[in-house]
Amino acid sequence: MNIHELRPSKGSTKKKRRVARGIGSGMGKTATRGSKGQKARRQVSPWFEGGQTPIHRRLPVKKGFRNINHKEYAIVNVQSLEKHFEKGEDVTPEALIAKGLIHGTMDGLKVLGHGELTKKLKVTAHLFSKSASEKIAKAGGECVTLERAEKGQPQKKVKAETKKTTKTTKKDKK
């Protein structure tokens, strides 16, 4: 057997269909497109929707994504502690919420080192930046780290207390 004698096995190859090449092509005068109508006269693009506003323009654009593993901390700077707390006070997440410095603890409370601190404070938070812990220690204060929830467990969130109004009923008045 020589290389010029090699042929594909019988039935493994087919002739390419030559559409719209006249009656003699074997596809007839309509060239496999049926008779009349838009699709018989020209090719319609697959995304064409008959003139209505296409779906890719009807749907809103999605942008970005939400990382489910991302932790978002309530942030307080040392400068705010200097301004809102007196010497010797305890700074806790509850105290910060009461003073309106944060709205909730989210995934925890983090103290950052922007600004100066001259007062001795006992600061309780989930995280401290290096500069914040140095500034608190330099002022004679103390940094107390709260335990964070284990990976996969939600953090217990501290929320601001709201005043609840109770309705009195006829039974309560008796």
pTM, full prediction: 0.53
Dist CA 91 CA 124 (whole Å): 6
pLDDT in tens, 114-169: 999 999 999 999 999 999 999 999 999 999 999 876 655 665 655 655 555 555 55
Taking the domain 74-145, which CATH number applies?
3.100.10.10
The predicted pLDDT at position 134 comes to 95
Average pLDDT of the segment spanning 5-11: 93
pLDDT for 71 equals 87
- The residue ranges of every structural domain in the chain are 74-145
Instruction: Give the dihedral sign, CA 38/40/42/43.
Output: positive
Dist. CA 149–CA 47, nearest whole Å: 50
